[in-house]
């Protein structure tokens, strides 16, 4: 981790992940969310690859491959199938409208910078200084979960949270162990696959995928 290009790539990747999260908050068209997720996956994979090269860590290299495959390829692919089954579906009326959401995202980024100050203070270097971006991605992802109505948006929110966590993990610990990352990726795949089936079933049953109208199910 001595060469400057590695840091540059890492900064770029972290920036892309957060920017992707904010974009996901901005775009109402569900189809537009898929490339954003794929881009985030690719950025995470690139970050892992750069770290693997600079550390000479083969395991991390494999992780980079897995991340690219799962988050950059399979998961967006699965999501794309859900969206394709219901073309023209848009996040028409989010619980918090888009401009307000963007302002909130700004506030969340500020908050994560404030919080992450303590973490970066433990080992201040160029990589750990990027941690707030990961935290902010987690928070924005959570915000998407809370405020968006469509099932697809919910899945996207969950994926954003996961991407944020992965980003923080890569930055702080130079990558989680291979086995853990494999397990986490597999879990994520399963969750997305399940949500895909669920979303399809809900649409078949109720004719829409608007979670807000499902409150009759309580108790």
d(CA 89, CA 87): 5
Comparison of 53 and 145: residue with beta carbon closer to another protein: 145
d(CA 166, CA 146): 21
Comparison of 39 and 115: residue with beta carbon closer to another protein: 115
Chain positions 31 to 60 lying near another protein, rule: CB under 8 A, are none
**Cα separation values, 162 from 55, 137, 213, Å:** 24, 9, 26
**Cα separation values, 10 from 46, 73, 85, Å:** 8, 21, 36
Q: Is 97 left (phi over 0), alpha (psi -120 to 50) or beta?
A: beta
Comparison of 77 and 117: residue with beta carbon closer to another protein: 117
In the complex, the smallest distance separating the C-beta of residue 205 from another protein, rounded to whole angstroms, is: 16
Stretch that binds another protein, among 18-26, 54-62, 65-73, 135-143 (CB under 8 A): 135-143
Measured in whole angstroms, the distance separating CA 23 from the mean position of its chain's CA atoms is 11
d(CA 12, CA 52): 16
In the complex, the smallest distance separating the C-beta of residue 148 from another protein, rounded to whole angstroms, is: 8
Radius of gyration of the chain (CA): 18
Comparison of 2 and 216: residue with beta carbon closer to another protein: 216
* CB neighbours of residue 210 within 10 Å: 17
Q: Is 131 in the site for another protein (CB under 8 A)?
A: no
Q: What mask of x and - would describe binding to another protein in positions 89 to 128, judged by CB under 8 A? A: ------x------------x--xx-xx-xx----------
Out of 12, 19, 102, 145, the only residue in the binding site for another protein (CB under 8 A) is 145
Residues at the contact surface with another protein, assessed by CB under 8 A: 95, 108, 111-112, 114-115, 117-118, 139, 142-143, 145-147, 149, 154, 211-212, 214-219
């Amino acid at each position: 981790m001595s060469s400057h290009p590695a840091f540059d790539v890492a900064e770029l990747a972290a920036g892309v992940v957060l920017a992707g999260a904010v974009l996901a908050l901005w775009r109402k068209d569900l189809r537009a969310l898929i490339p954003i997720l794929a881009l985030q996956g690719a950025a995470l994979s690139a970050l892992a690859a750069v770290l693997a090269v600079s550390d000479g860590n083969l395991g991390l290299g494999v992780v980079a491959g897995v991340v690219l495959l799962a988050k950059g390829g399979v998961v967006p692919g699965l999501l794309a199938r859900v969206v394709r089954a219901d073309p023209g579906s848009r996040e028409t009326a989010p619980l918090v409208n888009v401009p307000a959401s963007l302002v909130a995202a700004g506030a969340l980024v500020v908050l994560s910078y404030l919080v992450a100050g303590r973490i970066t203070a433990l080992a201040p270097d160029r990589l750990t200084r990027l941690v707030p971006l990961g935290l902010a991605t987690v928070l924005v992802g959570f915000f998407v979960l809370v405020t968006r109505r469509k099932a697809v948006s919910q899945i996207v929110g969950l994926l954003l949270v996961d991407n944020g966590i992965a980003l923080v993990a890569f930055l702080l610990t130079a990558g989680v162990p291979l086995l853990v990352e494999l397990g986490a990726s597999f879990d994520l795949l399963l969750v997305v696959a399940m949500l895909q089936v669920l979303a399809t079933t809900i649409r078949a049953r109720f004719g829409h995928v608007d979670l807000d109208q499902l409150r009759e199910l309580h108790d």
